[in-house]
Amino acid sequence: MKIEYKIANGSKSETKELTLIDLQWKDFCKVADLGLKVSRPNGSQFTDMTDFIMLYTGKSGEDMRKWRDNSNSQTAFINEIAIVFQAISEYMESKKK
């Protein structure tokens, strides 16, 4: 399944997409735990969001580094991670209805 999200690119917005994978039970439990952790800030929100995204997309640490390196800046990458986390969360919540 694919999700789309938008990020700012200068004065325009750019639509990107990610493919989500079906999770095994153990990984589903991990993302549920990560979602709960992010909702209660504990100082590791970025790590929790990236772990969540990595589980849902099957991306490795190397994939995440490449994504970061292809971003315009570290701030742009951090912002995109937050947007993707929200997009995945909203998509998964909409599937429950």
DSSP per-residue letters across the chain: -EEEEEEEETTEEEEEEEE--PPPHHHHHHHHHHHHHHHS--S-HHHHHHHHHHHHHT--HHHHHHHHHTSS-HHHHHHHHHHHHHHHHHHHHHHT-
pTM attached to this predicted model: 0.83
pLDDT, residue 97, reads: 60
| pLDDT number for residue 9 | 80
Share of the chain above pLDDT 90, in %: 66
Q: Give tens-digit pLDDT for 4-50.
A: 999 988 888 999 999 999 999 999 999 999 988 888 877 789 999 99
